[in-house]
Amino acid sequence: MRRTRQPLRRRPPTLLSTQALRERGMTRRRLAEAVADGRLIRVRRGRYVRAGTDSVFVRAASLGGRVDCVSLLHELGVFVRDTPHLHIQMKPDASRVPARPDDVVRHWRPTAALNDDLATPLIEALVQAVRCQEPRAAVATLDSAWHLRLIDEDDLAVIFALLPRRHRVLRRLLDRRSESGPETLVRLMLRAIGCRVDVQAELAGVGRVDFVVDGWLIIECDSEQFHADWEAQKRDRRRDLAAARLGYSTVRLLAEDVMWRGDVVLSALRQIVACGPGGPFAVRNSGQMATSVAR
């Protein structure tokens, strides 16, 4: 699976106070006009954001917080397992804050963010996301941020120093070569069943594949984003045929199955690996190289 890097913000959106706007020469009348014509959005009493600010930041501001954790990482294009809730950081001493909606998670902690920033620093968001997610998803999130070059090894050292000791075992599971969250999850599955795994392996006549397992099995993680059109599917089938001529069997996993039917995928991988290269899952002289785990 190939993933393109998302464009990133140079600075997080900021909150504007009535006082700050007055100091810039905006009169009460001009302020009212800016709100009326949509140049400014009033998020709560005496607080505004500029028009065009993403709705997730507008909502966080209206709730008296700033975007944090998995919600911020999702905005930055970093893999997170799921984001049904808005995660916001709240000052521990904040008072008179709006009631918390059911789909909002509040993290009451100090932050190094500037007072008017509507997003926490990336390192803080990653630390919080590791604590909020189950371990495999946390590894996938850190892999993603590392692969996108948003963080480096020094940043990882800081992140794990800030995490409780029980999380530090995750450090040795990280691999920046994983190009997507589902790839990390599959790699961890293969590791759990004791496989030898080559990540992003180059094969002559085939190209780069997600995994070569135990020297005979190719595993690719396919998503609709990169494999939906017929040209992409033809390319995949030709690659699979070329791999078969070299003696490899290919299994193509659906990213959505890896994400939401992980138990089924793990069970299938365990059976396939146990059968070995001569088992019923081996592919012989065929261009139809995909073994589906979706039934």
244 is written with which tokens? 């078969």
Determine whether domain 181-275 maps to CATH 3.40.960.10. yes
Model confidence at 294, pLDDT cuts 50, 70, 90, reads very low
Between CA 138 and CA 218 the distance in angstroms is 25
Residue pLDDT, tens place only, 160-170: 999 999 999 99
Q: Give the per-residue pLDDT at 290.
A: 40
Q: Where in the chain is the domain with CATH 3.40.960.10?
A: 181-275
Half-sphere exposure of 108 (CA within 13 A, CB side): 6
Q: Give the per-residue pLDDT at 271.
A: 96
Choice between 78 and 229, residue whose per-residue pLDDT is larger: 78
186 is written with which tokens? 């599959």
Model confidence at 289, pLDDT cuts 50, 70, 90, reads very low
Indicate if the pLDDT at residue 189 is higher than 90.
yes
Indicate if the pLDDT at residue 57 is higher than 50.
yes
Q: In what order do the strands lie in the sheet with 47-50?
A: 16-17, 47-50, 40-44
- What does 218-254 look like in DSSP terms, one character per residue? EEEEE-HHHH-SHHHHHHHHHHHHHHHHTT-EEEEEE
Looking at the DSSP bridge assignments, the partners of residue 48 are 16, 42
Between CA 234 and CA 23 the distance in angstroms is 61
Q: Give the per-residue pLDDT at 225.
A: 57
Cβ contact 249:289 at 8 Å: yes
Indicate if the pLDDT at residue 81 is higher than 80.
yes
The helix (H) or strand (E) run that includes residue 61 is helix 55-62
Model confidence at 291, pLDDT cuts 50, 70, 90, reads very low
Say which range, 36-50, 86-100, 216-230, has the weakest mean pLDDT: 216-230
Q: Give the per-residue pLDDT at 264.
A: 97
Angle between the N-to-C axes of helices 122-132 and 153-162, in degrees from 0 to 180, rounded to the nearest 10? 50
Cβ contact 110:91 at 8 Å: yes
Residue pLDDT, tens place only, 213-264: 999 999 999 876 555 577 878 888 999 999 999 999 999 999 999 999 999 9
Q: Give the per-residue pLDDT at 59.
A: 96
